[in-house]
Structure 1
Amino acid sequence: MSPRGAAVNEAMRTRSRERIMQATVELVDEHGFERTTLADIAERAGVARGLVSYYFPGKRLLLQTAMHRHMHLTLGAALRTLTDEDPPDLWLATAIDTITGLAIDQPRLMRTHLALILAPGADGFVQDDEQRRLGALLQAVLRRRGAADAATDHAVLRSALMGACIGMLLPGAESPARLIRDDLFTRYGLDPALGPRAAR
C-alpha cells in the first residue's frame, strides 16, 4: 500500500480541525463553556483527545477560533441567498442581521465568546484564518457599497457589531434587539424594511 500523499494528509487534518471546531460550538451552545471539556469535544468530533490539544493550545483559543468559523459560515450562507442584482444596502442589512442574529438565536454561545475576549488575562482578539475569512466577507459587502477603504470600514463595522451584541447580551441590562437593530440601520443609512429580520 502506498503512503498517503501530502494533499491527502492535509485534507484529513483540515477535516479533523473542522470537526473539532463544530463540536466545540455545539457543546458550548448546549452546556456552556465551563461544563464543556476537551474530552467532550474530542468525543463529539470523533477524534483522539490529544489531537484537540495538538491543533488548539487551549480551550479559550479553540472556542474563539470555532466561533469565528461559525460566524463566517453562517454569514456566508446568508449572503449566498443574494444576487449581484440585489442592492448593496440589502447585502449590508443581511450581514448586520445575520451577525447580530447569533446573539438572539444563540445567546449563551455569543455571550461566552464575547466574555472570553474581554476577560482580564485573556489573549484578546485573535486574528486567525477563520477570523480573516469573516473579515473578508464583511469587507466584500462594504466594497459593494462603495467603500474606498474596506479594511478600515470593516474595523468600524466589526466594532459596531460587537457592541450591538454586547448591548443585547449584557446581563441585567439587556437592550431590546429591535432598538439595537434600529440604531445600526440608522447609523449606516439602511431602510429597516431590508434584511432577513425586517419582518420579525
Structure 2
Amino acid sequence: MSPRSPSVNEELRRRSRERLLQATVELVEERGFDGTTLADIADRAGAARGLVSYYFPGKRPMFQSAVHRLMHRTLQAALEREPRTDDGRELLARAIDAVLGLTVDHPVVMRAHMAGILQAEGFVQCPEQQRLAELLRETMVRYGSADVDNDYPLLRALMMGAVFAILLPGAAMPLASLRDELFHRFGLDPAYAAPPGGEPARRSLR
C-alpha cells in the first residue's frame, strides 16, 4: 500500500481539528465549560485523547478556537447569503446582526467565551481568530472606512461590549436596543439585514 501524500495527510489533520472544534462547541452548549472535559471532546469527535494535546495546549485555548470558528463561519454565511450584495453598509449591518445573533443561538457558549477572554490570556491567536479578524476588517473596508486601523478595533470592541451586555446575568440589556445603538453609531438603516430573534426591522434612522 502506497504511503499517503502530504496533501492527503494535511487534509486528514484539518478534518480531525475541525471535528474537535465542532465537538467542543456542542459539548459546552450542553454541559457548560466546566462540565466539559478534554476526554469528552475527544470521544464526541471520535478522536484519540492524545490528538487533542497535539493540536491544542489546553481546554481554554481549544474552546476559544472553537468559538472563533463558530463566529467566523456564522459571519461568512451572513455576508454571503442570498441575495448577495456589494453594499458596504448592508454588509456591516449583516456582520453586526450575525455576531449579536450568536447570543440568541448560543448563549451558554458565548457567555463562557466572554468570561474566558477577560482572563489573563485574552485572545488566543489561532487561525480561527485570524479569519474572524480578516472578515471583520474587510467588512469595514467595504463599508468605506477612511481609517480602518482605528475603525476595525472600534467595531470589534463595540460588538464585544454589546454581547457582554446582552449576556450579563441579572442586568442584561435588550438586544434590540444595543442593535439600534450600533446601527446608529455607524449610520446604518435598521431595515438592513435580519434582526436576531425574529424582531421586525424598523425602516428609518433615528
TM range (shorter): over 0.9
> Gaps spanning 5+ residues in structure 2: where?
200-206
The one-letter code sitting in structure 2 at the alignment partner of 1:181 is R
Alpha carbons of 1:28 and 1:9: their partners in 2 closer, same or farther (altered >3 Å)? same
CA distance in 2, matches of 1:82, 1:90: 12
Runs (4+) of structure 1 moved beyond 4 Å?
82-86
Task: Deviation per CA, 1:96-127: give whole Å up to 9, x if none.
Answer: 000011012211110000101113xx311122
2:185 alignment counterpart? 187
The question of whether the paired residues in 2 share the 8 Å contact of 1:142 and 1:150 is answered with yes
> Shift in Å at residue 85 of structure 1?
4.3
Is this contact kept in 1: 2:90–2:193, CA < 8 A?
Answer: yes
Specify every segment of 5 or more residues in structure 1 that has no aligned partner in the other structure, as ranges.
none
Change in CA separation of 1:105 and 1:84 when aligned onto 2, cut-off 3 Å: closer
- Confirm or deny: 8 A CA contact 1:143 1:150 kept in the other structure: yes
Moved more, 41-50 or 125-134: 125-134
1:38 corresponding residue in structure 2: 38
Q: Secondary structure at the match of 1:190?
A: coil
From 162, 167, 172, the counterpart of 2:165: 167
Kept in 1, the 8 Å contact 2:93–2:183? The answer is: yes
SS in 1 for 2:154: helix
Q: How many pairs does the alignment contain? A: 198
The 8 Å contact of residues 104 and 177 in structure 1, kept in 2 or not, is answered as: no
| Structure 1 residue 149: Cα displacement | 3.6
Q: Percent identity?
A: 56
Structure 1 residue 132: Cα displacement: 1.0
Q: Give the structure-2-normalised TM-score.
A: 0.91
1:174 partner SS: coil
Shift of 1:83: 5.7
User: TM-score, normalised to structure 1's length?
Assistant: 0.94
Q: Which residue of the partner structure matches residue 202 of structure 2?
A: none
Aligned 8 A contact 2:85 2:91 in 1: no
RMSD: 1.5
- Tell me how far apart the structure 1 counterparts of residues 82 and 125 of structure 2 sit (CA, whole Å): 27
Match of 1:141 in 2: 139
